[in-house]
């Protein structure tokens, strides 16, 4: 085996606890009560439907950061929460600061000794680079939906990855 690719959200990073903790910190900072767990879970529930809109051609290619922000604004409105644009952008950036599961860094480092390790995620490139830096993930490569202009499970994502890896592994 020459390469292993990983999904990131949930597999490598604990997105749920990370978002809840960031919402709770924002609560303290702003001095307001936020339904942190509900916002987190409902935000994630928008994940697949928002990508499906792109897959079905209802909207043109849109990166995950933009889909996340659109979903966030809808949720804030549903909950009657008013935040200024800068704070909405900051909350949307919560996805860029996700904690890894406790054994991930060590496990990836061990795998990296013998194989190429990479992502294959629906996250956009800047999101994945930020997550990797924040969580100290030792990726050799970052593959994401943005590179293929398709979201998993569209075959174009997997075929694009295979084409990229075949080129890289021949060297």
CATH code where residue 109 lies: 3.40.50.1000
pLDDT, one tens digit per residue, over 33-84 is 999 999 999 999 999 999 999 999 999 999 999 999 999 999 999 999 999 9
Could you tell me the pTM of the whole model? 0.92
Task: Give the C-alpha separation, 88 to 95, whole Å.
Answer: 12
- Confidence band, pLDDT 50/70/90 cuts, at residue 164: confident
Task: Give mean pLDDT, residues 3-27.
Answer: 96
Domain count of the fold of the chain:
2
- Cis peptide before 79, with omega less than 30 degrees from 0? no
Do 62 and 129 belong to one domain? no
Contact status, residue 47 vs residue 74, Cβ threshold 8 Å: no
Per cent of the chain over pLDDT 70 is: 96
20 lies in the same domain as 91: yes
- For residues 120 and 111, the answer to whether their CB atoms sit within 8 Å is no
Least Cα distance to 87 among 22, 38, 135, 9 occurs for 22
CATH of the domain at 61: 1.10.150.240
User: How much of the chain, in percent, has pLDDT values that exceed 90?
Assistant: 91
Which domain does 83 fall in, by range?
15-96
Radius of gyration of the chain (CA): 17
User: Looking at the structure, do residues 111 and 149 belong to the same domain, yes or no?
Assistant: yes
Supply 115's token pair: 């194989």
Do 78 and 147 share a domain, yes or no?
no
């Amino acid at each position: 085996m020459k390469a292993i690719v990983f999904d990131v959200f949930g597999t490598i990073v604990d997105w749920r606890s990370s978002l809840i903790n960031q919402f709770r910190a924002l609560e303290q900072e702003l001095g307001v009560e936020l339904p942190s767990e509900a916002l987190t879970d409902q935000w994630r529930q928008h994940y697949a439907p928002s990508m499906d809109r792109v897959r079905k051609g209802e909207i043109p290619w849109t990166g995950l950061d933009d889909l996340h922000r659109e979903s966030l604004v809808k949720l804030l409105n549903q909950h009657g929460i008013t935040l200024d644009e800068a704070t909405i952008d900051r909350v949307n950036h919560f996805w860029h600061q996700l904690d890894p599961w406790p054994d991930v860094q060590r496990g990836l480092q061990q795998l990296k000794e013998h194989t190429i390790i990479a992502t294959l995620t629906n996250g956009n490139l800047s999101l994945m680079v930020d997550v990797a830096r924040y969580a100290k993930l030792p990726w050799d490569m970052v593959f994401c939906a943005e590179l293929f202009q398709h979201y998993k499970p569209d075959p174009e994502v997997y075929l694009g990855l295979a084409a990229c890896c075949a080129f890289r592994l021949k060297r």
